[in-house]
Amino acid sequence: MARLVMKFGGTSVANVERIRNVARHVKREIDEGHEVAVVVSAMSGKTNELVSWVNEANKHYDPREYDAVVASGEQVTSGLLAIILQQMGVPARSWQGWQIPIETDGAHGAARIARIDGGGLIEGFGRKEVAVIAGFQGVEPATGRVATLGRGGSDTSAVAVAAAIHADRCDIYTDVDGVYTTDPRIVSKARRLDRIAFEEMLEMASLGAKVLQVRSVEMAMIHGVKTFVRSSFDDPADPQPGTLICNEEDIVEEQVVTGIAFSKDEAQITLRKVADKPGVAAAIFQPLAQANVNVDMIIQVVSDDAKTTDITFTVPTAEFERARAILEKAKDAIGFSTLQASTDVVKVSAIGVGMRSHAGVAADAFRALAEKGVNIRAITTSEIKFSVLIDAAYTELAVRTLHSLYGLDKA
């Protein structure tokens, strides 16, 4: 007998019939003698609808009331799944975040989990009861108000619950059957990975892969939660194993490059003829940091006269206009001549823990992209990944080129 957490995303619970299919997955694990807690998202599209209602009511809303509205989607799903499980003869009870409780900080709309008391859930296991938990939400203890965890927060809820109740594993059910070497819609030969290291998954999630929320992977790595990505659309009687996200030492044979990710959520900003003197970088990036604008790639090129420099960096597309306004306001303090920008760019990344022990991995990519006529605007590297910023028009060509270059097309 094992203790499991099963998480089902919005497409998996999009309507009552799909919720019945989810219930069959849950019943399979119960029939095998396991203790099960289920974490559910809102029905597909429901959170967007709730957010639109809030904005229609008042664009300058109170974040606490925003959370009260958008958290209701998961409450509906958890109740419906509990009802259907009961109909199947499986004892089940729905739990809201505040009932467990899942305690968070006070950052409404993007709260972080501070503590979970898993005692009530464990007591329910003693009664052979399935806990059906509304994901994406907790409670701020100081006020007793509902607090939501940000988009994709149900993944984080599931991993946090798994850690709190000492689950043997956490199964994240989605509309795909695992983690792939790249997006199969871009590369038809993309392969499902049997295993991927926590660090690799963390990089892939942060660099554009949409399978899991970044914070959930980070939490799984910190707490050592064995996590599987599986498909809820498999036959509940014959499910596939999916992809295991695990420690690096649990992977017997590592590839140099595990996957290729890409992100279209990039905007490039270049400040021309900035005075080349101490403190100028701080004058640029401190105001952005204070406004919580995340800066990624940074390139500095000194001019021939050695007195001025051009500084190029990227920000998320959603933060582009705000970043530009902040920089224009600080133009005199920074001392640049012109600000040039482009939103028609994409970041393509290669990820693999095998890079630690292999030289020339990035150089091979630069050569292969050059041979295909792909111009690189910016480059960043770390121990287990490198990223290039390119024109959006070359996205598919670049992804396919790198996928083939590192042998990811091959079984």
Q: What is the mean pLDDT of the segment spanning 44-68?
A: 94
CB of 175 closer than 8 Å to CB of 231: yes
Structure tokens belonging to residue 264: 């279209």
E strands within 195-336? 195-197, 227-231, 243-246, 259-263, 267-275, 298-302, 308-315
- pLDDT, residue 302, reads 72
Q: Which residue in 338, 352, 362, 134 sits closest to 251, CA to CA? A: 352
Write the pLDDT tens digit of every residue in 93-110: 999 999 999 999 999 999
pLDDT at residue 306 greater than cutoff 80? no
Q: What is the mean pLDDT of the segment spanning 226-249?
A: 92
**Residues near 98 by beta carbon (within 8 Å), at least 6 away in sequence:** 137, 138, 139, 144, 146
- pLDDT, residue 304, reads 64
The model's pTM is 0.85
Band the pLDDT of 152: cuts 50, 70, 90.
confident
- pLDDT, residue 299, reads 86
- pLDDT, residue 368, reads 96
β-pairing, 35-40 vs 92-95, is unpaired
Peptide bond into 239 cis (omega under 30): no
Write the pLDDT tens digit of every residue in 72-85: 999 999 999 999 99
CB of 315 closer than 8 Å to CB of 288: yes
- pLDDT, residue 300, reads 84
Strand partners, 173: 8, 230
CB of 269 closer than 8 Å to CB of 321: no
The CATH T-level fold of domain 267-342 is Alpha-Beta Plaits (3.30.70)
Alpha-carbon distances of 179 from 75, 189, 191, 228, 304, rounded to whole Å:
28, 14, 8, 9, 47
Write the pLDDT tens digit of every residue in 350-384: 999 989 888 889 999 999 999 999 999 989 888 89
- pLDDT, residue 255, reads 82
Enumerate the CATH 3.30.70.260 domain ranges in the chain, comma separated.
267-342
Strand partners, 346: 390
pLDDT at residue 120 greater than cutoff 90? yes
- pLDDT, residue 408, reads 93
pLDDT at residue 155 greater than cutoff 80? yes
Give me the percent of the chain exceeding a pLDDT of 90.
Answer: 75
Q: What is the mean pLDDT of the segment spanning 61-77?
A: 96
The CATH T-level fold of domain 3-175 is Carbamate kinase (3.40.1160)
Enumerate the CATH 3.40.1160.10 domain ranges in the chain, comma separated.
3-175
Structure tokens belonging to residue 329: 């306001």
- pLDDT, residue 305, reads 65
Instruction: Tell me the pLDDT of the chain averaged across its residues.
Output: 92
Write the pLDDT tens digit of every residue in 238-292: 998 899 999 888 887 678 999 999 999 899 999 998 888 888 889 999 999 998 8
Give me the percent of the chain exceeding a pLDDT of 70.
Answer: 98
CB of 219 closer than 8 Å to CB of 368: no
- How far apart CA 376 and CA 325 sit, in angstroms, is 27
